[in-house]
Structure 1
Amino acid sequence: MNRFRTVVVTGVLLSGAGASGWGQGTGGTPAPVKLTVADAEAIAIKNHPQISTAKLLALAEGEVTRQAKAAELPTVTGSLTAVDAHDGGRLTAGVLNNPVLYTRAAGGVSVSQLITDFGRTRNLVSSAALNARAQQSSELATEADIKLAVDQAFYRALAAQSVVNVAKKTVSFRQDTANLVGSLANAKLKSTLDESFAEVNLNQAQVLLLDAQNEEDAAFADLSNVLGYERQQNFQLVDRMGQSKAPVQDIDSLTMLAFQSRPDLAALNEQQQAAEKYRKAEHELWRPTISALADAGGAPVRSDAITSNWYGAAGVNINIPVFNGGLYSARAKEADYRASAAQEQVRALRNTIARDVRVSWLAAQSAYQKIGVTAKLLNQANQALDLAQTRYKLGLSSIVELSQAQLAQTSAEIGNTNARYDYQRSLAAIRYQTGQ
């Protein structure tokens, strides 16, 4: 049916298959791979680069949490120092202290441990952990986005296939009508005007077929792209759509489900909580920092003025911020503003979700009702076409009536096909909007 599709069988689709030659058609050409909507979602989750990007960003954010936790752990530094100096000289310019310089070669270890900064580091760790959780929720949100795109593309391709089948039947039917009218015109039983009308109807059907095939090619290109492939694939889509059921009637329960389940809302909530923790940490910059320090080592090569071949010391250091030009207060105010902005972003997304759930629900209701209406319309159009054919053969009506009946039947069949798949797309949208 589709003359322009390239065929690539991927490792994902080959999983569970046998040895080489699986799925081969005639002449070594790979046969179309059967694909359900569930298969398509699974392939996209494995293949799509946006999901891989989201996973990598989540892993990177986890390392940020480790970086923040490092401040709570001891720091150990080893040092090797060799100095050739003018013994007894002092550094007297550029600094307040006056260390004595001695020739020596020494090695040692320095250890420092934060005792407390009165909650600042703890809040920074909590903020980083919440940001990591937010990135994980964003990964789930990306998967939901891709699943929705897959469902929309899958049902669009199915609809396009069905329209192509309708167009082919229309061409075949109108070709038969044109042949019949042509024969009657040659026998002088119908006018050449009738023959011209029949040819026009046939040409219109052929144009419809070309447009339908182009739409089918575009739909399969879109499906291949959303599945993460560079080239268009050769799929045989499996339609497992059963009897269509009406959407859930309780819009309020759907809205509450969305508030509880939407991963993008969860990510934004976690980012807001992270911003609040960071705000607290920035306000705690003014608090003292208490650390324990220890140094130990030896100097096997040393000046005679250094009487001991080893050294060791331990102590406690307290840093108390006094004045830094308003830096800490500015950082605290910045964190306040960002935390408030994050809270407003959560509120805005909740409003958007409530609106989108209602709009999707209304669209699903309308699409469900259209299925029944278009089915009745198709049945009536079929009956009208049968009657118009009979009347035309008996000479009781003109070719115009038959042409109108053919056009109405084709339009009704396409409308009924599109209505069924539009409803499936609207159900996919509801699942996405409610986080399912």
Structure 2
Amino acid sequence: MSVKPSTWLLIAAAGVISVISPTVHAFDPLRAEQSIPVNAADDMVPANSTCEFGPLSNPLTLEDAVERALCRNPKTREAWADVKGQAAAVGVARAAYLPTITGNWQGVRDSSVTDITAHPALSSNYSATVRSEGVSLNWLLYDFGGREAALKNASSLLEAAQATQNATLQSTFAMVAKDYYAAQAAHAALDAAREIEVMTRHSATASQAKVDNGVAPITDALQAQSQDEQALLNLAKAQSDAQSTIGTLAVDMGYDPSAVVDLPDVTDTVIPAKTFTESLARLIDEVKRTHPSVVAAQAQYDAAVAKLAQTRAQGLPSISLVGKYNRDNQPQSLGLGLPSYPSTGHDAYIGIQVSIPLFEGFGKSYQIDQARAVAERQQDTLEETRLKVGLDVWNSYYALEAASESAAHSKSLLTLAQQAYTAAEHRYNVGVGNILELLNTQTTLANAKERRIQMLTDWDNARIDLASKLGRLDMSSISTLGAR
């Protein structure tokens, strides 16, 4: 992109006239910061552009958790700050097309005394307040594409920062969703642990009653009590896990661990056979071109190439327009020993300056080699990123398929385990079954409940993870992907 200096003068003039901008920054005469998002969440939370929130929803919804995390999480705010910094760097690169004007003012009290021995007529003594004002101009007119390359480098790095911010938002979204579902699963597991403890306590009470009536051996009561003690241990562990996961979720949103009070229950749902109708090959081909991390890597490679061109141009001649005007009131004297008289003077010049680098100790040659090596490395990083995102989609795709199948099996397993426990409990109560049969079905039912809860949340995680790996996550994903 070649930009004439006069064009940048017009841009600057327009910016000075319209310094009040409706965007983030009020003063942006070179229009370098127009692309800065208004908040750390960019356009991921369009309904709350100010990122201001009231009290947490109770129970906390996934949408509320994600919005707060995208706005408040330190990682998203760091990525936002990087975009702002790089946008300012674009402004610096554009400013290089404009002239630099420097004003100077100096005011001094000058006192000069000269005593010449035996020649008083040649001696002098005067005092004066001397002022000088000046202004100088330097305007680079041509530098063999150095400024153009610098602007391309800054613009590419801005594009990389924006893509990195998008990737950070995607990963933060997925992280919060994962921690949200983990907290839901932990609280559901806590509820299940409470139910299992009540169930084992009832079994222990029933077996002890049979022992007291002489219709069952003491070993039945001891085994049932052992099962109940194990259920109490599991309950204590479930309580700890629930508190840990809910604290993690609160920190994801930028709050203290105690901020979240309650979450909605995990409810059963119908697991669709297919979540994404597109073929895996097409998904991988698309993500290699459009994923934010690939876009960022491509932009960083473009920036490295531009930096190489900029480094080469720095070793070539440059042509500048230079000018200066200066005036002062320095007193003047006609000669030694003669009095000084007040005076004013000024001088000015304007011209063309040609700067030709002749010898820099071979440093420029090595700088070019260094810039070339950086560009080669960024090219390899780009290819590595493309391979990585393709593999991520591959793994997430099959993880989702496995989660869908496992969720379906877990529902059948829970139904069978519940039926087996009901039958074993009835058989034991009427004196047909034994305590081992009852305890075994209790253990199977407890495991089936935990597995069902875990499979449901794993399925939600797998869908969110695949959408994140594809770079498609936004707030609409919460409803379309089935948040509970």
Q: Is the 8 A contact 2:101 2:135 kept in 1?
A: yes
**C-alpha displacement of 1:176:** 1.5
Q: Mark the runs of 5 or more structure 2 residues left unpaired by the alignment.
A: 1-50, 113-128, 335-341, 473-484
Matching residue's letter, 2:161:
Q
2-side partners of 1:316 and 1:241: how far apart? 79
1-side partners of 2:355 and 2:346: how far apart? 29
Deviations 1:53-94 (A, max 9, x none): 2212221122222222222111111123579799xxxxxxxx
Aligned counterparts, 1:348-363, within 5 A: 348-363=384-399
Q: Is the 8 A contact 2:330 2:343 kept in 1?
A: no
When residues 72 and 255 of structure 1 are mapped into structure 2, their CA distance, relative to the original with a 3 A threshold, is: same
Counterpart in the other structure of 1:79: 104
Aligned counterparts, 1:31-50, within 5 A: 33-50=58-75
Counterpart in the other structure of 1:301: 330
Counterpart of 1:416 in 2: which secondary structure?
Answer: helix
2-side partners of 1:242 and 1:381: how far apart? 19
Question: Among 238, 243, 250, which residue is 1:212 paired with?
Answer: 238
Aligned counterparts, 1:29-428, within 5 A: 33-81=58-106, 105-238=131-264, 242-245=269-272, 246-248=274-276, 250-303=279-332, 309-428=345-464
> For the aligned residues, what is the CA RMSD?
2.4
Deviations 1:355-390 (A, max 9, x none): 111111111111110011111111111121122122
Matching residue's letter, 1:339:
A
Q: Is the 8 A contact 1:105 1:302 kept in 2?
A: no
**C-alpha displacement of 1:396:** 2.5
When residues 434 and 11 of structure 1 are mapped into structure 2, their CA distance, relative to the original with a 3 A threshold, is: closer
**C-alpha displacement of 1:431:** 1.2
Q: Which runs of 4+ in 1 moved over 4 A?
A: 81-86, 239-242, 304-308
**C-alpha displacement of 1:178:** 1.5
Q: Is the 8 A contact 1:104 1:303 kept in 2?
A: no
Q: Is the 8 A contact 2:329 2:344 kept in 1?
A: no
**C-alpha displacement of 1:158:** 0.7
2-side partners of 1:419 and 1:240: how far apart? 12
Counterpart of 2:262 in 1: which secondary structure?
Answer: strand
Deviations 1:134-161 (A, max 9, x none): 1122222221221111011000011111
Q: Is the 8 A contact 2:200 2:228 kept in 1?
A: yes
**C-alpha displacement of 1:397:** 2.6
1-side partners of 2:160 and 2:150: how far apart? 15
**C-alpha displacement of 1:409:** 1.1
Q: Mark the runs of 5 or more structure 1 residues left unpaired by the alignment.
A: 1-9, 16-31, 87-102
Q: Is the 8 A contact 2:294 2:385 kept in 1?
A: yes
**C-alpha displacement of 1:11:** 7.1
Q: Is the 8 A contact 1:110 1:296 kept in 2?
A: yes
Deviates more, 1:240-249 or 1:396-405: 240-249
Counterpart of 1:372 in 2: which secondary structure?
Answer: helix
Q: Is the 8 A contact 1:247 1:361 kept in 2?
A: no
Counterpart in the other structure of 1:12: 53
Deviates more, 1:236-245 or 1:332-341: 236-245
Counterpart of 1:310 in 2: which secondary structure?
Answer: strand
When residues 286 and 179 of structure 1 are mapped into structure 2, their CA distance, relative to the original with a 3 A threshold, is: same
Give percent identity, aligned residues only.
22
Counterpart in the other structure of 2:43: none
Counterpart of 1:429 in 2: which secondary structure?
Answer: helix
Instruction: Give the structure-2-normalised TM-score.
Output: 0.77
**C-alpha displacement of 1:44:** 0.6
Instruction: Give the structure-1-normalised TM-score.
Output: 0.85
Deviates more, 1:77-86 or 1:320-329: 77-86
**C-alpha displacement of 1:49:** 1.6
Deviations 1:159-180 (A, max 9, x none): 1111111111111112112211
**C-alpha displacement of 1:336:** 0.4
**C-alpha displacement of 1:299:** 2.8
